[in-house]
Chain A
Amino acid sequence: MRRAIPRIALPVTARPCCRTVCRPTPTTTTTPRHFSTAVPKKADIPIQEVLRRKIWGSEEAPGAPGMPPPAPQIPMVEEPTKEEAEREGYIEESDGRALPVVGLAPGLTEWDVQTFANVTRPPSTEAIHAAMHRAVVEVYTHALNGKPVDTPAVEGSVAEEGFTPRVRIEVRQNGEAVFHYGDTSVEGEVLKLSTGVEGEVVEEGAMGEWLQEGLDGKGWVELGFRGDDIKFAVYKRVYRLTGIRVADPDLNRTKTVADLLTHLVAKPRPTKLFDILITETDLPTLPNVKIVGQRVRPWDRERVIGREQPFEKVVGHTYPFEEARR
């Protein structure tokens, strides 16, 4: 049977109180409510940037997000400006080692300091001989004119010049050395440590003579150092020109230019054991020792005892095409 009047739901309060009824029923008009104590996340910052800041340790990490950090700039030694140098009472700041203090920008690791010898590539044997000749001429020229022998090493330039190659050094049997300048202007230019006119070319013949003599170990390389001051002045100048250092004990033992050259033009140590055994051991002098440089093949042994010989020599056979050629 249908009811004419629909059943009306009784209000909540009118209903008998029970567990299921006391719970308030949600209505469609109210919105859900959330309550939380956590800090809301910044959804606009990518995870890569978050990690970058975390690694750097602060919010202001260098470089743009996603880009590599900027390359560190190489610092240069700051020289005082004209105004600073001309200021009265200006004293350049120096540390305990009497070296100038250079400012260091943050994040920079490399220094670009001009050293005494700025030679990056190892020079060739001829270049070393040429540098030695130049150093000897300059130092001895200063010594002969009563000037400090250290001057070429301290004030001399490393640029190429065309005056010292023209000087010929003659070493006599009694140990005397004679410097033939050829022209008084050359001696003057050497004293001034001038590098000459740009583009000036040295005569090849003049340089080739003493260069070849030096490579053969004769002539000017037999020049003995007159004193320790000259020896060290020559080595200092050679070091500035070539960048090659010689150990102190070796330097103390050198007596002549040739001795110093042996330390500058040192031969590379042999890599093969065969070369080492030949040069550094007394095995080649022993009568029962034989050192071979190549692999001993099986047929080498046969040939040494004379067992293996070419077939043609043993039998005396000749091929038809050999007969035709004859």
Chain B
Amino acid sequence: MPVSALRAVSKSQNGVGAFILQCKRMEFNFCDWAGSSKGMRHDRSFLKHSLSQFARQNPQIEIIVAPRPNKIPIIRGTYINGREKVIPVDGLEIQQILQKAQLLRNSSGTKLKRITRPVISLNESVRGIFSPFHGKKHVI
């Protein structure tokens, strides 16, 4: 029989060829009056000192700074799959807010899943799935 090639669709793997950051926009909201926004707006605050460096390091992310009166400060990340993730940063310090921003940048828009298996792979198992009818027979 002639051997024919299997038609397979290429599986996209982000990062194998080109890497596309999943986070496309980050919105920093704060309140001009409330004390929970201290880490965002006071002297030596995140927005005044750390945001410019974060924006330079991530030019592919659109950053929006807007007030949100009478609400707690939040960071809202928008992803390519259309989902949003919101993290409240009320009462946090500069380094803590920066960690939350980096967390949003490093994550994708997928929902959080509980991982039960130690290894997640697209490749099939090398030794095959267990079958009681194959292999060395058990002698009683």
> How many whole Å from B74's CB to the nearest CB in chain A?
12
B68 at the interface (CB under 8 A from A): yes
B94 at the interface (CB under 8 A from A): no
A292 at the interface (CB under 8 A from B): yes
Chain B binding surface, main DSSP class: mixed
Given A272-B32, A273-B32, A295-B67, also A287-B59 (CB < 8 A): yes
Residue pair A273, B67 in contact (C-beta under 8 Å): yes
Instruction: Choose from A280, A283, A287, A295 the contact partner of B69 (Cβ within 8 Å).
Output: A295
List chain A residues, Cβ under 8 A from B68: 295-296
CB-CB nearest in chain B for A272 = B32
List chain B residues, Cβ under 8 A from A272: 32, 67
Residue pair B52, A288 in contact (C-beta under 8 Å): no
List chain B residues, Cβ under 8 A from A292: 64-67
A17 at the interface (CB under 8 A from B): no
List chain A residues, Cβ under 8 A from B40: 273
CB-CB nearest in chain A for B30 = A273
A198 at the interface (CB under 8 A from B): no
CA distance A290 to B51 in the complex (A): 12
What is the size, in residues, of chain A's interface with B at 8 Å between Cβ atoms?
A: 21
CB-CB nearest in chain B for A296 = B66
Given A273-B30, A276-B48, A288-B59, also A283-B65 (CB < 8 A): yes
> How many whole Å from B5's CB to the nearest CB in chain A?
44
List chain A residues, Cβ under 8 A from B69: 295
Instruction: Choose from B30, B32, B48, B61 the contact partner of A288 (Cβ within 8 Å).
Output: B61
> Interface of B with A (CB < 8 Å)?
27, 30, 32, 40-41, 47-48, 51-52, 55-56, 58-69
23 pairs from A and B in contact (CB 8 Å cutoff): A272-B32, A272-B67, A273-B41, A273-B47, A276-B48, A277-B48, A277-B65, A280-B48, A281-B48, A283-B51, A286-B52, A286-B55, A288-B58, A288-B60, A288-B61, A288-B63, A289-B51, A289-B65, A290-B65, A292-B65, A293-B67, A295-B68, A296-B66
6 more A-B contacts (CB under 8 A) besides A273-B47, A280-B48? A271-B32, A277-B65, A283-B65, A288-B63, A289-B64, A290-B63
